[in-house]
Structure 1
């Protein structure tokens, strides 16, 4: 099948509407992140609040810090991160593993490197709707071998959330979300449906890819590619090296976003209450009074 014929099986192919280079900045305690979403030129992409491509080596890390009002998705690309929180949850996720944490009404946790050398991964923040912001915290963890995958014509996908190539992830997404990790061998292409009402983007992990239409300009590693409206996206690896990227999409909430660091609510009054709850260890932060990570 020709490229044009394959592309045309989407009634409206999604095109690239914005490219943002993820720039390095310091976060936590000595950690370095490349932030692609959550900065001035791409503040958010409803329902997504932040995307960090992180690299952390001991003794740096992300010591005890709070969250309220959204979910964090940590996907390890190399090495491991050890997580512990004030509710007694503790564990380590390694290369290829995913932790999907619903912070809800409140959590305080630490995320620290689990080994020597650079521990690398992606962390995505997904907003919660106003009705879900004060739910109880929850975790879903997927080991690498539990992640559904498929391969066809030189294209491999790992399905962290959603569905691709006929395989589906078991992860429950409170805010409807797809999270797909694609690797394309040289001179291959992929075509992925996306619900028309969703916002979506690509983050290039390694290599160089062409997205949207075959003659668009190539995009290199560490760029966020915001996709326009449509019912699917196509990608081509025209280079001689492998291309790896994540394709992430989600149902927009269409609600106001008021953010104060690790707290994301709908109004300034709710943020003020959250800060008060945190400082006075109440309404979800009760255990913060005595807990410190080990």
Structure 2
């Protein structure tokens, strides 16, 4: 199709295939999350397993709990979360900071509120079968170390991948793009995305037009699943700022077997994981001795 017919910045523009409202639900110990991925309407989007927009205030939180077989990415929007795990790792991430945690063969940790009001996004990214039992790892990026760029009323924070010629230092074992955009009223942006990767948008605040100029505006707390293509166009035709994330990843095309915080490829691997956790082996050796402080 020629450009004159769809006036696009891309050969194959990505369009909105599906729109899902991230409805509030209770999670952890008294916390509230808006779950956009990992719900009935959108079970997963390979390689992404879950997206939560969380809000937590003391004494609520996410006390000691395990993970195996995937990565979690936490991006703080307000306040802070204090994290500690059974390997002795402890720290607090605050507004604008990122923690990229590879659970691998096993981690037990707690995530508890550091201030009165704490909000952020947590994304779960699946690991390929060959990577599920690797050693746990952390990449922590304070806000000031996250590459940013700005052009014509559009600002981007590059948590993973590349935008506006700037690149993130984060290593993504499952190839991933994670961009946080702020767009002023009247601005537009055209973001290249690897053509075969699955991609979604989550609108944090404001209202935007995604995909093509004729699409209806999308408002806060919606996940937009995009069609395949080489890029996404966004317009802020409203009178208020627009803030959203663009997340894309290379599909693993592997079977997913999930039981709560454990994500493997087969049911027998899940059963093995439950045994490992129960008896404290194969990565969960510290389970019997460790409690967060």
TM-score, shorter chain, exceeding 0.5? yes
Please name the residue that 2:103 is paired with: 103
**1:9 offset after TM fit, Å?**
3.0
Please name the residue that 1:114 is paired with: 114
CA–CA distance in 2 between the matches of 1:113 and 1:258? Answer: 30
Please name the residue that 2:31 is paired with: 31
**Distance change in 2, residues 1:7/1:256 (3 Å):** farther
State whether structure 2 residue 176 is matched by structure 1 residue 157.
no
Please name the residue that 2:218 is paired with: 219
Gaps of 5+ in 1: none
TM-score when normalising by structure 2: 0.98
> Is this contact kept in 1: 2:9–2:190, CA < 8 A?
no
**Distance change in 2, residues 1:4/1:55 (3 Å):** farther
TM-score when normalising by structure 1: 0.98
**1:115 offset after TM fit, Å?**
1.3
CA–CA distance in 1 between the matches of 2:228 and 2:286? Answer: 44
Alignment of 1:218-257 (within 5 A): 218-257=217-256
> Is this contact kept in 1: 2:202–2:222, CA < 8 A?
yes
Please name the residue that 1:12 is paired with: 12
Please name the residue that 1:175 is paired with: 174
CA–CA distance in 1 between the matches of 2:20 and 2:165? Answer: 31
Deviations 1:244-272 (A, max 9, x none): 00000000000000100000000000000
Deviations 1:216-247 (A, max 9, x none): 00000000000001000000000000000000
**1:49 offset after TM fit, Å?**
0.1
Please name the residue that 1:208 is paired with: 207
Please name the residue that 2:259 is paired with: 260
State whether structure 2 residue 136 is matched by structure 1 residue 142.
no
CA–CA distance in 2 between the matches of 1:250 and 1:66? Answer: 24
**Distance change in 2, residues 1:7/1:177 (3 Å):** farther
> Is this contact kept in 1: 2:9–2:233, CA < 8 A?
no
CA–CA distance in 2 between the matches of 1:258 and 1:4? Answer: 46
> Is this contact kept in 2: 1:7–1:13, CA < 8 A?
no
**Distance change in 2, residues 1:156/1:6 (3 Å):** farther
Superposition misfits of 4+ residues, deviation over 3 angstroms: 3-7
Alignment of 1:117-136 (within 5 A): 118-136=117-135
**Distance change in 2, residues 1:89/1:230 (3 Å):** same
CA–CA distance in 2 between the matches of 1:158 and 1:8? Answer: 24
Secondary structure of the corresponding residue to residue 273 of structure 2:
helix
The alignment covers a number of residue pairs equal to 291
CA–CA distance in 1 between the matches of 2:256 and 2:123? Answer: 16
Once superposed, what is the RMSD of the aligned Cα atoms? Answer: 1.2
CA–CA distance in 2 between the matches of 1:198 and 1:82? Answer: 32
CA–CA distance in 2 between the matches of 1:162 and 1:281? Answer: 36
Gaps of 5+ in 2: none
Please name the residue that 1:55 is paired with: 55
